[in-house]
Structure 1
């Protein structure tokens, strides 16, 4: 079953988020320290992924064009509005917590090598081991994030499932159209571009700067397109 890994990942996020909702008595200073610790890990992971690129120019152009398109489409604004819509349906004490939790966790769970590699492996080889491992990580992070950012983290299971599920289904139809060399190149440049986004997410979480990461998401697609264009020229 091609979507099994994505389904397990979504369930892990739901379970972790529900557990996180019951952890209400964590001192605020401890929550802040946990948030800062996770932010530092995200930064390290982002740097690690960014170093996987073999074509720095692809990453640069992808980020630049992705930012232009994303700003034009106002992707982050739409994500915020979606979070606010959910928030209007689910009452919470902390204003804005659902929107922030939804956007932050969606980006964290979707952007990364494991999401891409795992979904590709599910589609190409019907092997879900990578996504199973990612599920354990996301489930644990969901507990921490939900206890810190609120119930918005719970709703991130849907875009995570759709994102990874789409990649898995797409990959299942094109095993004979993509060479292993091209596949490796795509993974390297998408990982490199995604690593930059994770680095930005970590800096945002630490309050170092405010970057509209949601508006930079099209850069992932541009990285894919650039790799394919270069390979076929």
Structure 2
């Protein structure tokens, strides 16, 4: 599908996330706490499936051909270790949480005040329905931002859009994100809506990169980045399933480290 201008695919994707989030927010008020908790569990399982499909790219023939058999696993390990150390030193998790809190506070100014009884009901439980408004916003924003912005469709689709090779991949991704945003917003609320900004920034930059470079990033580097992204999504799935609260944001630099390691070892 040819695009009228570079970036059209990203605009469609952003619109899909907005529509899905608004639909989920409207639906969520009509669902009980138990139903929303079950929906979150289902999302965690699906995220785990998507993560596994991404992580398996560590066995991609292009990656093994570029760096040799057995080396891709070491590249993923090195990327996570180096990226994790970098992210921890930069306090990325804390900074993003603080940013999300400020955005939530700004968004809540026009929202109805929470009564004392409602505030007491929002305890420190891992159940999304029992989280405070700020915690639900942060969880929803960070979770869906990572889910929507990490993966082969994000990278390849945005680059293809920038190169003028069509927006078929981003249209497919938009359809998937529409349903995912609906389900997540039913549990986490308005934080999911703000992930549309994350999609616009990340995919917009990748589209611009495609316009400037005029060539697709080597498949081996995309495979390494996708494999690392899959492991980050596993961390998100563990949080959704309330099994382990991993500092996934601190591991984000690993996404930049992986292609660099592939380039150095190729």
TM-score range, shorter chain: over 0.9
Secondary structure of 1:14's counterpart equals helix
Q: C-alpha deviations, 1:129-148, integer Å up to 9, x for none? A: 11111111111111111110
- In the alignment, is the contact (CA less than 8 A) between 1:114 and 1:134 conserved in 2? yes
Query: Does 1:114 pair with 2:160?
Result: no
Residues 51 and 231 of structure 2 are in contact (CA less than 8 Å); yes or no, is this contact kept in structure 1? yes
Structure 1 stretch 140-149 or stretch 122-131: which is displaced more? 122-131
Q: 1:169 — aligned with what?
A: 208
Instruction: Report how far residue 6 of structure 1 moved.
Output: 0.9
1:102-156 CA distance string (max 9 Å, x none): 1111111111221112112212343111111111111111111111001111111
Alignment of 1:3-82 (within 5 A): 3-23=7-27, 24-53=29-58, 54=63, 55-82=72-99
Secondary structure of the residue aligned to 1:126 is: coil
Conserved 8 A contact 2:43-2:184: no
What CA distance in whole angstroms lies between the structure 1 residues aligned with 2:250 and 2:239? 14
The alignment yields a C-alpha RMSD, in angstroms, of: 1.5
Q: Which runs of 5+ in 1 are unaligned?
A: none
TM-score between both structures, scaled by the size of structure 2: 0.81
For 1:139 and 1:173, how far apart are their aligned partners in 2? 29
> In structure 1, what is the Cα distance between the partners aligned to 2:147 and 2:36?
18
Deviation at 1:175, TM superposition (A): 2.8
Distance in 1, matches of 2:24 and 2:52, equals 28
Instruction: Tell me what 1:150 maps to.
Output: 189
**Take 1:7 and 1:80, find their aligned partners in 2: how far apart are those partners?**
26
Cα offset for 1:167? 1.0
Q: Where do 5+ consecutive residues of structure 2 fail to align?
A: 64-71, 115-131
TM-score (norm 1): 0.92
Match of 2:238 among 181, 184, 203: 203
3-state DSSP of counterpart to 1:90: helix
Aligned mates of 1:25, 1:71 — CA distance in 2: 40
Distance (whole Å) between structure 2 residues aligned to residue 162 and residue 216 of structure 1 = 19
Q: Deviations over 1:159-215 (max 9, x none)?
A: 111101111111222235x6xxx6110111011110100111101111111110011
- Distance between the aligned counterparts of 1:210 and 1:153, measured in 2? 19
Q: 1:112 touches 1:194 (CA, 8 Å); kept in 2? A: yes
Where in structure 2 are the equivalents of 1:81-230 lying within 5 Å?
81-91=98-108, 93=114, 94-96=132-134, 97-176=136-215, 183-230=218-265
Superposition deviation, residue 59 in structure 1:
0.7
Counterpart secondary structure, 1:52: helix
Rounded to whole Å, the distance in 2 between the matches of 1:70 and 1:114 is: 25
- Conserved? CA contact 2:43–2:183, under 8 Å: no
